[in-house]
Amino acid sequence: MNYIKVKGLSKSYSDIKALKNLSIEIVWTIIPSIIVLLIGLYSYNIYDRMGGMKELNHNHEMMSSNTEKIWAGISQTSDNEIAINNLSIEVSAMQFAFLFNYPKGNFISGELHVPVDQKVSMKMESKDVIHAFWVPEFRIKQDIIPGQPTILNFTPTKVGKYPIICAELCGPYHGGMRASIIVEEESDYNEWFNKNKKPEVNL
């Protein structure tokens, strides 16, 4: 058909083409493009300042400390080894809480306290269903699977309090399964540790 009828009006395709405005089309294409570009540049700047553009070593094989990479305040070593000098912590995940056992102090805490700039080795186990240990600010996330102990090694590099979130749907109260990781100066950590540790019992 060569004509379109709208409410009794007839216009040919040639007339419709004549109604197009190239300037308006250019404007409504360029302005959104500029806005998207600015948002992208701003987001890139924020992501870079958070450390997101630095490399993260995903190699889970044995590697030397010389190849260790830092990303967003976390350095990860091999998930298959727990160094002698690392702070060893046992993590139990259950519906709907994380519990942190400090073997050297023989006590359990609902908060994860670690000293800044010291390597931490966490042996993680689930008591029921699949959970996920996620610290958004650290850029680390690790699934915790029943019957499959997992080792997570990292080094916190900035003092502060950060949320720990279960990122795996684990039941009706999944949204409330949260804890905190508190990164402290070594002196503050030692004070907290000594206050909570249980005295050794000599048999």
DSSP class of residue 148 equals B
pLDDT tens digit sequence for 86-110: 899 999 999 999 999 999 989 999 9
- 61 or 172, greater pLDDT: 172
Nearest CA-CA partner of 191 in 200, 180, 182: 182
Nearest CA-CA partner of 180 in 117, 100, 119, 81: 100
Domain ranges of the chain: 3-49, 65-196
Look at residue 147 in the predicted model and tell me its pLDDT: 87
pTM: 0.59
**What does each C-alpha distance from 169 to 82, 130, 133 come to in angstroms?**
29, 8, 12
Please state which CATH number belongs to domain 65-196. Answer: 2.60.40.420
